[in-house]
Amino acid sequence: MTAAGEKEESLQAPREYPFTMHTVGAQTMVVFSQADADEVSLEGTVVHRAECRPVVSDSYMKVKRLQVKSVKPQRLVQQLDRAVATVFKPVANHDFNLEYEKKKKSDGKMVRADRQLVLDLLFSAFEKHQYYSFKDLVDI
């Protein structure tokens, strides 16, 4: 690995890795194996967990910095000839609100029907079906 202005010796991958063993503790971890005939068998339980990490040094941090830089996407800057004209201005009353108001005015106000007539209509409706939404009952 070499970088612009960096010596190859200063960017070597770490060669020292401390090996630490930890007890699993309260976790229950097991090892399974799978044979050719899709038979899964329990091999044993895990008692210790081992970790192997590189020693954090200046050379290791340089290598990690280069790795992060290589993964980061390149950003592209473009200068536009003219301003983008997709600025949305606020609207006081939207089209669907205007349509709703027109429909409301054309329907007019609800007129209260005779009590006995409404009860007869409701009972005849419930003879046809057991359940109705409130909106459907208002329509009936």
Domain that holds residue 117: 112-139
DSSP assignment string, 11-80: GPPP----EEEEE-TT---EEEEE-TTS-EEEEEE--EEEEE-----HHHHHHHHHHHHHHSPPP-----
- Give the pTM: 0.34
In a domain, 36, yes or no: yes
In a domain, 23, yes or no: yes
**pLDDT tens by residue, 13-61:** 788 888 999 898 888 999 999 988 788 999 999 999 899 988 888 888 8
Domain count, the chain: 2
Answer for the pair 47, 23: CB distance below 8 angstroms, yes or no. yes
In a domain, 43, yes or no: yes
Token pair 């089209």 in the structure block, residue: 95
In a domain, 66, yes or no: yes
**pLDDT tens by residue, 73-118:** 888 898 888 887 777 788 888 888 899 888 888 877 777 888 999 8
In a domain, 127, yes or no: yes
Answer for the pair 63, 13: CB distance below 8 angstroms, yes or no. yes
